[in-house]
Chain A
């Protein structure tokens, strides 16, 4: 028997999409029955009270969580999002309802052993509710009480060899696409680079030392499956410098209708027979493709590597072999100055595991040194770039200025020069000027 009446939420149990209400109810029932005889460390009816408070919000049209909440584990300055209900008498099961961010493996591949071990800890010491996963990538354990935080952390580190994720003004949990694990477009090992930088910068992740939050994301190609260009302050997108590899026999098979375009992604509708000129040649953003005499040719020098032709004919066209990544900087959501996508900072850098990705770390640390010194309180690096200029960022990162850094040159002539760039400098005498120009 449910603890609270939830007529509004009950309406979200119907319909085809997996119902979070049904799932939370099933957890509430499991805990009420407690067939395993677990000594729950937070109220057994925590999921019931979550439904209760959510139903209240559905009636009031307003949230019932108090502002903020500062909790954590010793040694770290982040990783736990504290939260307290603003109706604790009515819903004591969620009087404390803190979230723990747990570091996830790159690409989010799991064994059931790992997930079951995590569930065992969380069932005992938490609400039994999770988010798989948070938008930044963490495993999110949703709802526990303050005294359990150190206990959970002890079990995570000692028994599962796993750490917390990040929160606060620091490096947040990095995330990657699944990269080379299961994708033929991967231009570099996005998971390995993600793992390596996560380990390298553990201190920056666990102990806030920045003006504001900072995120890394790793996309192994420009398709952007982890949305690095929109959702990370430093975005690493795979690319190549040589030629797209063309298999003319496979091209003919596409033209002949033996292979479905785009791997069959449009199979749910009749779009007619594949037309290589209409669907590939004419859609190339730089007009770099020709199809004559049954042969596909690419003017690779003019190719911008948008992925369209490769996406459309994955069995005939492959990425080049001289691969690496581009680094873009500054993506953020609107607060405060408006949203930004990453702006191209490094057109190409090798992704070299043999020297521990030193070229990439040099850029990261150059950017951080500058922003940690110059960034204002709660100013994302994208905003620091806007305030101090893109060239200042490039100089800090040690990256040569390059026409690829702009979509177009400036159209206003408000150009800054440094005194030492100008013949004679800026020290001038008005009397000397007046010798040539009377008042």
Chain B
């Protein structure tokens, strides 16, 4: 493995350095029809699952074919995407905000041929490489995080839970038969990178055991006041301990006040808390970001814990399918999952989804918790 220089000179690191140039301007990447009709679009149609048509004032039309991806992808896969774009789309393509790919062509027949071509591509293991769908009132891609592939604070894996879930709800990706779009998202700890706090259904990695304190190293590796300030419930305080006859500055954690968020570990490497039996996932539902009809809303916790049953998390996919089915059967057209649950009442939501309601689901975090309890005699039996 011989070193190949790029031209960078480590002896003179600041020489010939280019900085602060940012991304390239997006117009460099717009295909001609998109560029020509920029800001002049009049309407659109979803011709079939995964295929969109946009019509401009000029009468020009562009046809978009949307397909799913695993988000985590190799350069071999990206080059394959490029081959398709070169062959069908004059070398242009885009990615969506949910990490799907969109290929754009100027002819309806070509779009339908492209859809068929994409649906014919498979990995050796049998999964689709480019399943077409993700439009209209269905389930699109799952916004997700790093999990055990790259992160140090996860309580579960991202790529695996997402693959298991998308396999379980795949027919909703390739069809548009729900009352409204259902956005599923995933975060492997409650830093909630991504969209877990604002999705119709959300998968969230959680811990259930307090951190283990590495007393001998803590003061050398951590800024103790930062670890203390990192705790939302004030469970961490500075402390001293004696280990093997030696005194160490460290922290103490009041275990009954710790709710296992892991934020102290984020700030201090000597407070790890990952644990095979303790860790797992919580499920949240009812969030949205659009302003359509109702206001944006946070997702709410409806299942406090399910185990990390690798590699396919069957308990998790069962519950997700159950929630989707109950929603699909019960909601009105255009009604998002959270709007449906609010309309029928959360007590009814738990009943129709056959979910257990436990004390873990009742908010107990500071003043705002009160506003989530029921200050009315209006409830259903």
Contacts and interface: CB of A to CB of B under 8 A. Distances in A.
Indicate whether A and B interact. Answer: yes
B208 to A, nearest CB: 12
B379 interface: no
Interface in B49-70: 49, 54, 62, 64, 68-70
B3 A41 contact: yes
A59 B166 CA distance: 22
A306 B291 contact: yes
Given A110-B92, A306-B292, A334 B192 contact: yes
16 contacts: A9-B160, A15-B163, A20-B71, A21-B163, A23-B76, A26-B77, A61-B279, A115-B79, A122-B75, A135-B193, A157-B19, A184-B43, A230-B198, A231-B198, A314-B44, A336-B230
Which of A60, A99, A131 has the most chain B CB within a 10 Å cutoff? A131
B238 to A, nearest CB: 16
Contacts of A116: 79, 82
B135 interface: yes
A319 to B, nearest CB: 11
A230 to B, nearest CB: 4
A57 B46 CA distance: 42
Interface of A: 8-24, 26-27, 30, 39-41, 43, 47, 50, 53-54, 57-68, 74-76, 81, 83, 97, 99, 103-116, 119, 122-125, 128-133, 135, 142-143, 147, 150-155, 157-158, 161-163, 175, 177-178, 180-184, 186, 189, 191, 195, 198-199, 202-203, 205-206, 222-227, 229-231, 237, 260, 262-269, 271, 279, 283-285, 304-308, 311-312, 314-315, 318, 333-339, 341, 377-378
Nearest to B56: A184
Contact of A307 (B41, B47, B152, B291): B291
B177 A269 contact: yes
B136 A267 contact: yes
Contact of B365 (A125, A154, A338): A338
B126 A13 contact: yes
Nearest to A268: B177
A339 B291 contact: no
A41 B104 CA distance: 36
A111 B17 contact: no
Contacts of A153: 8
Contacts of B71: 20, 131-133
A175 B19 contact: no
Interface of B is mostly: loop
Interface in B1-60: 1-8, 10, 13-14, 17-26, 28-31, 34, 38-39, 41-49, 54
Contact of A16 (B127, B194, B230, B263): B127
B294 interface: yes
B72 A20 contact: yes
A64 B276 CA distance: 12
A31 B153 CA distance: 30
Given A17-B170, A268-B136, A224 B74 contact: no
B41 A266 contact: no
Given A61-B279, A151-B8, A227-B198, A135 B145 contact: yes
Nearest to B68: A18
B152 to A, nearest CB: 4
B307 to A, nearest CB: 9
B334 interface: yes
Interface stretch (B93-101, B109-117, B246-254, B318-326): B93-101
Nearest to B33: A182
B265 interface: yes
Q: Which of B130, B145, B289 has the most CB of A within 10 A?
A: B289
B163 A308 contact: no
B73 interface: yes
A155 B4 CA distance: 12
A264 B136 contact: yes
Nearest to B166: A17
Contact of B74 (A23, A189, A284): A23
Interface string B117-157: 00000011111111100011110000101011111111001
A311 B292 contact: yes
Contacts of A186: 39, 41
Contact of B76 (A26, A115, A135): A26
B176 to A, nearest CB: 4
Which of A53, A237, A336, A377 has the most chain B CB atoms inside 10 A of its CB? Answer: A336
B310 A266 contact: no
B218 interface: no
Contacts of B96: 108
A283 B334 contact: yes
B164 interface: yes
Interface stretch (B267-275, B340-348, B351-359): B267-275
Contacts of B296: 224, 229-230, 341
Nearest to A307: B292
Contact of B170 (A15, A57, A62, A307): A15
Given A19-B163, A105-B24, A128-B76, A112 B91 contact: yes
A114 B69 CA distance: 19
A335 to B, nearest CB: 5
Q: Sorted from nearest, which 8 A-B pairs have the closest CB atoms?
A: A13-B125, A265-B136, A15-B167, A61-B276, A268-B177, A27-B74, A67-B269, A22-B123
